[in-house]
Structure 1
Amino acid sequence: MYDYAVAWEWLTFAVRWLHVVTAIAWIGSSFYFIALDLGLVKRPGLPEGAYGEEWQVHGGGFYHIQKYLVAPASMPEHLTWFKWESYFTWLSGFAMLCLVYYGGADLFLINRHVLPLSQPEAIGLSLASLAIGWIIYDLLCKSPLGRNTWGLMILLYILLVAMAWGYTHVFTGRAAFLHLGAFTATIMTGNVFFIIMPNQRVVVADLIAGRTPDPKYGRIAKQRSLHNNYLTLPVVFFMLSNHYPLAFATMYNWIIAALVFLMGVTIRHWFNTVHARKGRPLWTWMVTVVIFIAIMWLSTAKRPDEGTFSSLSPMQEKFLADPHFAAAKSVVQARCSMCHAADPVWEGLTFPPKNVKFDTDKEIAAHAREIYLEAGLSHAMPPGNVTDVTPKDRALLTAWYESAIKAR
């Protein structure tokens, strides 16, 4: 029975790997095409309908690229579509959300000291927020306000800050940041699935039918692509943040999230300006550094005491009641608690790694699976075995977990 934990761990690893690979493909193609679009040059002698061209060198050869702002005069023989990178990035990310945060809702999603939710309530709020977020964003884009790209982006920023505040007052800090990434990624993939691809299909259908495509479809798609471009870097930050409690487990975590979105804009503005051959705005990097220093300062303010686990799941209660618990607890307190505590005593640590604390019996029981996988079955914890965990210690941790699992 205990092999289930190992299989589950490898499954989450495989899905995470898929998510990273597809995200690299999507982000890479997105950044490339935005840079290509900004670098297009209008030169004499371009074919009719061509907006600009670009010469590039790579892989031992030269590429001559031309862009038609609306469409060429006729349908090309072969047309490459870029969509699956986006779709599989979202699908694999949603699978990760289900495996880690829905499957482990009591531990990773719900903080009963923030808002006492049941598992179905927390999962329902999570799903509803992703869907409603896309609907609100899409309505804003299609409203008269959507005609002003930069004004629309300011409204989008306000929406994202509001979601940051809301998520941190509903879920754990770690889950709040993950959901901000998922919320933003849902908007980005929604842009591809519901707007950009359908608009391109309309243009292709017009070409096949011999009609002149309406340029509005291209303008709308370009606006959504620009939004995606500026949202990409914050999404990457939020997806990485679950490893850094200084980002998500502090009093001002929602303000930190708001500043992260601004950093994404300043960094992308630098690259977009350079790619458009409009100079090198060094001020964007200075602003980015100032924002990052502000984030570092805000992270030093600890969250108010959230207490300990007020309740455990039935399985976690079995870990607490198991006869091997006393021996396992002794190992955890001797080898792990100097780092994994509300106030770590290990030099250089301000917060417990991943915000995992072993101050109470309930906290130890709540993290039984992680202790088993990282300190019992493997030697991942502690790093470099700095606290000299012995083979006997690891055997005690393993025996505790396996005994409770077999007793189910």
Structure 2
Amino acid sequence: MDPIVSEWLGLVVRWVHVISGIAWVGASFYFNWLLNHLRAPATTDHHALGELWAIHAGGFFHVQKRTIAPGALPAPLHWFKWEAYWTWISGFVLLVLVYYLGAEVYLIDRQVADIGVGIAVTIGIGTLALGWLVYDLLWRSPLAERPRLAGAVSFALVVALAWGLDQVFSGRGAYMHVGALLGTLMAGNVFRIIMPAQRELVAATREGREQDRRLAAFAEQRSLHNNYMTLPVLFVMISNHYPSTYSHELNWVVLAVLFAAGTAVRHYFNVRHRRGNWRSAWLLGAPAVAVAALAYVTAPAPRGAGSEPVAFEAVQSIIEARCVSCHSAHPTSELVLSPPKGVTFDTPEQIRAQAVQIQAQAIASTAMPPGNLTGMADAERQLLARWIAQGAPLE
């Protein structure tokens, strides 16, 4: 694909993805907050199940959850579905644009598994399809009657998947496919479970039939699943900016800990109104401690400066051979139109100014060069580390 077309198409699709995602997540958070804060209605109306008063944007709002008598369908009735559909559609298009069309750079790591693009893409798409089938069957099985156990099994399967994908994909590609699967489960819940249940509820009300409350309860359960998956998915969306997570040799463990932390934080916001902020505070404290411990345990061992000074000419030759094809004011790589993140290594001063980023991207992790397309050797990374440890001199 032409680089100009690819860049602008990526921009537009990513923009749509973020806008749709904000709308979807916002609606999910609001309705779960609303359900958790409903109070017994101050009315004799037996159709009213709960109510809430709120103030926002200079006005008072009175919200009720209620049953509707058969044949008394209100109009207009607002539905919430397109936010979910467009988030998934735009996300899948991004997956194709970045990770499938750019599989050699972002999805495949030859040091992990020497597989072809076709096989990698098949594994990726198969993960999404098979993942939905396993999840849906699990939560339709008798195990679903014990939601805590079913939830634990679901989490274990996600962790196992993260480990499995880490055996065939780059760390970044593995992370993104775990996130894409969770996004697929969330959108699938809306499309296959929640919307059909609501259409049947509306049809029964319109036709004067008795409403099937079991369908409503099933839909509410899947909506709650979506609520708990939100923060883990949001982490994956930003994870490619933090290579210390996906490029670690135990990146699947890192993912599991961060997913558990995000789920705990979400649970805090779901239950704090019932238990009180202080009784639920451990749901924030435990994730904070876990993440701090994770950062400490996964931190790379410091590399010494060494006794022999590193000549800057040696550093510059590595940068020119491995990095400048992209990170230049005038890139020669066909993969980019402009230097990624505006980082350039055309002058000694520019190289030294980016020493911290070089440390993070090419030494503490192997995120750069992406897919190691230019073949940076471990010895070269070690030399760069020694140069930075010596204060990044230009002599």
Which of the five TM-score ranges fits, normalised by the shorter chain? 0.7 to 0.9
**What's the counterpart of residue 359 of structure 2?**
349
Structure 1 residue 51 displacement after superposition: 1.4
Output aligned runs, 1:154-173, within 5 Å.
154-173=152-171
Residue in structure 1 matching 2:275, options 275, 278, 283: 278
Normalised by the length of structure 2, the TM-score is 0.78
The one-letter amino acid paired with 1:169 is: Q
Question: C-alpha displacement at 1:298, in angstroms?
Answer: 3.9
Shift, 1:261, TM fit: 1.4
What is the rounded CA distance, in whole Å, between the counterparts of 1:152 and 1:15 in structure 2? 35
Letter in 2 for 1:357: P
In structure 2, the CA distance between the partners of 1:23 and 1:201, relative to structure 1 (3 Å rule), is: same
Cross-structure match for 1:404? none
Count the aligned residue pairs: 335
Task: Say which is worse superposed, 346-355 or 230-239, in terms of deviation.
Answer: 346-355
Name the amino acid aligned to 2:275. Answer: K
SS in 2 for 1:183: helix
User: Residues 125-177 of structure 1, C-alpha deviation per residue, up to 9 Å, x if partnerless?
Assistant: 00000000000000011001112222221111111111111111111001111
Going from structure 1 to structure 2, the CA distance change for 1:347 and 1:301 (only over 3 Å counts) comes to closer
Contact 2:112 2:168 in 1 (8 A): yes
The aligned amino acid for 2:8 is: W
For 1:164 and 1:360, how far apart are their aligned partners in 2?
22
Sort the Cα spacing of 1:46 and 1:107 in 2 relative to 1 into closer, same or farther, 3 A.
Answer: farther
Pair 1:89–1:335, CA change in 2 (3 A): farther
Structure 1 residues 46 and 198 mapped into 2: Cα distance closer, same or farther (>3 Å)? farther
Partner in structure 2 of residue 50 of structure 1: 48
Task: Write the distance in 2 (CA, Å) between the matches of 1:271 and 1:91.
Answer: 29
CA distance in 2, matches of 1:283, 1:237: 21
Q: Please, what is the CA RMSD of the aligned residues?
A: 2.9
CA distance in 1 between counterparts of 2:371 and 2:221 reads 50
- Cα offsets for 1:225-265 (capped at 9, x unmatched): 11111110010001100111001001110001111111112
| Corresponding position of 1:130 | 128
Q: How far apart are 1:212 and its partner, in Å?
A: 1.2
Residue number in structure 2 paired with 1:65: 63
Cα shift at 1:7: 2.5
How far is the alpha carbon of 1:387 from its aligned partner?
12
In the TM superposition, 1:68-79 aligns within 5 A as 68=66, 71-73=68-70, 74-79=72-77
Where do residues 1-400 of structure 1 align in structure 2 (5 Å cutoff)?
Answer: 4-68=2-66, 71-73=68-70, 74-274=72-272, 276-280=273-277, 281-301=280-300, 346=356, 349-352=359-362, 355-357=367-369, 362-363=374-375
Contact 1:165-1:254 at 8 Å conserved across structures? yes
- 1:74-109 deviations in whole A, cap 9, x for unaligned? 211211000000000000101110100011001111
Amino acid of the structure 1 residue aligned with 2:222: R
Contact 2:105–2:373 (CA under 8 A) maintained in structure 1: no
- Summarize the Cα distance change of 1:258–1:46 in structure 2 as closer, same or farther, 3 Å threshold: farther
SS in structure 1 at match of 2:65: strand
Unaligned runs of 5+ in 2: 302-325, 327-331, 334-344, 377-391
Contact 2:106 2:370 in 1 (8 A): no
1:58 CA displacement: 1.0
Contact map agreement 1:50 1:72 (CA 8 A) in 2: no
- C-alpha displacement at 1:270, in angstroms? 1.4
Q: Percent identity?
A: 39
The answer on whether the counterparts of 1:71 and 1:213 sit within 8 Å (CA) in structure 2 is no
Cα deviation, residue 71, structure 1: 4.2
**8 Å contact kept, 1:168–1:176:** yes
Cα distance change, pair 359–204 in 1 and its aligned pair in 2 (3 A): closer
Alignment check: 8 A CA contact 1:337 1:357 kept? no
Over 3 Å counting, the alpha-carbon distance change for 1:332 and 1:165 in structure 2 is farther
The 1-side partners of 2:83 and 2:357 are apart by: 43
Which secondary structure does the structure 1 equivalent of 2:359 belong to? coil
Q: 1:339 to 1:262 in 2, by over 3 A?
A: farther
The 1-side partners of 2:370 and 2:290 are apart by 33
Q: Identify which range, 46-55 or 155-164, moves more after superposition.
A: 46-55
Q: Secondary structure at the match of 1:55?
A: strand
